[in-house]
Amino acid sequence: MTSGGKPGAPAGTPKVLAPEDGTLGGEELHFRRLPGGLEAWVWRRRGLQNRHAVFATRFGAMDARFETEGETHEVPDGTAHFLEHMAFDTGEGNALNLFSRLGIRVNAFTSHAATAYFFSGTDNFWPALRELTKLVVTSHLTPKGVEKERRVIAQEVRMYEDSPESKVAENLLRALYVEHPVRRNIGGTVESVMGIAPETLLRCHRTFYHPSNLVFVAAGDLDPERVFAAVATTLEELGTPGPGEVPASTAAPVAPVFRRLFPNEPPLPGQAEVSVRRPVQRPSFLVGFKDPRPTPEPSAPPSASPPTPPSLALFRREVALNLLVDIVFGSTSPLYNDLYRDGLIDESFSARYVSDLTFGYAVAGGATRDAAQAAARLLEGISGRRPKGIAEPDLQRKRRKALGHFVGLADSLEGMATLFLTCRLKGIDLRSYPDILGAITLDEVNQAFAELFVPERASVSIIKPGPA
């Protein structure tokens, strides 16, 4: 399967790339399938001091309902994020300390679709790699550890409660989506965090942290063979639990069978507007446009080997829509400049297209002096421009800009590794980016404009100053 793209795509469509060695950003990229089915990559970026490694599981905040071992489970909001915290509990204290002692900076993040664990450092890469591998595929969580971490997570949730940027974004997703679990808050609420049981966390770990559900990327001046061998060795050792140890997920002879359960999501937003008051000085607003996706069949995600034509079509739409969003909302657009002149947006304004296998939306907004007026003017501006569409020179300039950013990304190990990884989680190969960028046509972008940026697809989220 070497040709792809959506049916009817223009000739010269970029090919679907099989997972195999090649180059990325002018540097070698190596691929290997490791024990347990782990998909592993090494981007050999030479010349930099740091080395970076990241594991991600296709388990995020939106994996809230699933079937496994003949039972259906629904987990409280914030479960994936809680599990991210617990991964660092080694049973003998916090692994954060262990990495830190090596001079290694370690961290993790949870998104709607995934949880990722990563480290960077100039030295001690090998012991850190071994520890990261262990930390991801084994679990040592205890009820006592869970109780202690619950308090820390509650503080994290409260910190985000005080952030107007987080609030306005969460509210937008709840307005755009009626049923889809992307509307669930990634960290959960203080209340939902209180209700997450240790057994739930363990079940999620067993189900979703098997190597077959993970992607691994290492980046830096590294010998790829040594990296693959190191990870493979650790995985094999962990297959046999030691005395008193919880079996590693690799101990399962075959990958766990699970099915994600997604509700039917209507194509249009649930609410046109959501507005709340917060104790802040400055209003803020976001306008979102919902890009419908077909409801997925209950299934495991594509294990992405080889990448599927639908993934490629999705990637192409993502690239096209990011160009479109920049043309329509970027600082060279009439819309941006009109709103800026009237004090309705400022430097904090940003716009982008967010895309995953089961959801997608464009979003624009930021701080403002009058949120309702800013949102209304933005929607008017879009409606006014839509009939005219966009012109070829605009597309060419944004294409050049996007290509330059891709070139510059090679200066950031973490940036490139994370982008490559998030693409792999969706079954996409970032190496096809320059080709796809070149293949996007004006018609394609204008068609997306006409389809997506219509008032009925829009939701508005507003934060007004005042007592909550």
Partner 1 sequence: MRPALRDLLRAPGGRTHTTRIEATALPGQPVGVHDLADGATLYVLPAPRFRTTHLLLAFRQTLSEDTVTSGALLPRVLRRGTRRWPNRPSLDGHLEDLYGASLRTDATKTGDQQVIEAAFSCPVPESLAAMGAGQGAALLTELFSDPAPPGPTRGTGDGLSPVYVSEEKDALARDQAAISDDRMSYAHYRCLAEMCRGEPSALHSLGRSADLDGIDPASLDEFRRRLLATAPLTAYLAGPVDDRVRTQVAESLESGLARWTETAVAAGKPGSPCSIVPAPRSIAPSAVHPRPDREREIIEPADVEQARLVIGLQTGTALGHDDYPAQVLYNGLLGGFVHSRLFRRIREEAGLAYYAWSRLLSTKGIILISCGIQEAAYGQAVGLVRRELEALARGDFTEAEFEATRNSVLAAAKARLDSPGALIYGHLERVVAGRPPGEIAPWRDLAKVTAGEVREFARRPVIDTVYLLGRGASQIGSGVSRQGEAPRRADKEAKQP
Establish if 223 lies at the interface with partner 1 (CB under 8 A). no
The answer to whether 112 touches 48, Cβ cutoff 8 Å, is no
Phi-psi group of 124: left, alpha or beta (phi > 0 → left; psi -120 to 50 → alpha; rest → beta)? left
Establish if 4 lies at the interface with partner 1 (CB under 8 A). no
**Residue (149 or 444) nearer to partner 1, CB:** 149
Is the four-CA dihedral 41, 105, 59, 287 of positive or negative sign? negative
Instruction: Indicate the SS3 state at residue 427.
Output: coil
**Residue (22 or 343) nearer to partner 1, CB:** 343
**Residue (208 or 353) nearer to partner 1, CB:** 353
* Residue in the block written with tokens 């989680």: 425
DSSP state string for 349-405: -EEEEEE-SS-EEEEEEEE-S-HHHHHHHHHHHHHHHTTT---HHHHHHHHHHHHHH
**Residue (12 or 47) nearer to partner 1, CB:** 47
Binding mask 187-216 for partner 1 (x = CB under 8 A): ------------------------------
Choose the stretch contacting partner 1; rule: CB under 8 A; options: 15-23, 41-49, 384-392, 444-452.
41-49
> What is the chain's percent helix, strand, coil content, to nearest 5?
45, 20, 35
Rounded Cα distance, 289 and 364, in Å: 9
Identify residue 395 by its one-letter amino acid code.
Answer: L
Helix pair 79-87, 198-208: axis angle to 10 deg: 80
Question: Which residues in 351-410 contact partner 1 (CB under 8 A)?
Answer: 367, 369, 397-398, 400-405, 407-408, 410
Establish if 338 lies at the interface with partner 1 (CB under 8 A). no
Q: Are strands 65-68 and 71-74 parallel, antiparallel or unpaired?
A: antiparallel
Establish if 28 lies at the interface with partner 1 (CB under 8 A). no
Establish if 240 lies at the interface with partner 1 (CB under 8 A). yes
Half-sphere exposure of 464 (CA within 13 A, CB side): 14
Contacting residue, 48, 251, 313, 454, with partner 1 by CB under 8 A: 48
Contacting residue, 73, 96, 268, 276, with partner 1 by CB under 8 A: 96
Question: Least distance to partner 1 from the beta carbon of 5, Å?
Answer: 26
Establish if 23 lies at the interface with partner 1 (CB under 8 A). no
Structure tokens given for 21: 């060695």
Question: Least distance to partner 1 from the beta carbon of 232, Å?
Answer: 13
Question: Which residues in 163-182 contact partner 1 (CB under 8 A)?
Answer: 163-164
Establish if 143 lies at the interface with partner 1 (CB under 8 A). no
Contacting residue, 37, 127, 198, 292, with partner 1 by CB under 8 A: 127
**Residue (300 or 403) nearer to partner 1, CB:** 403
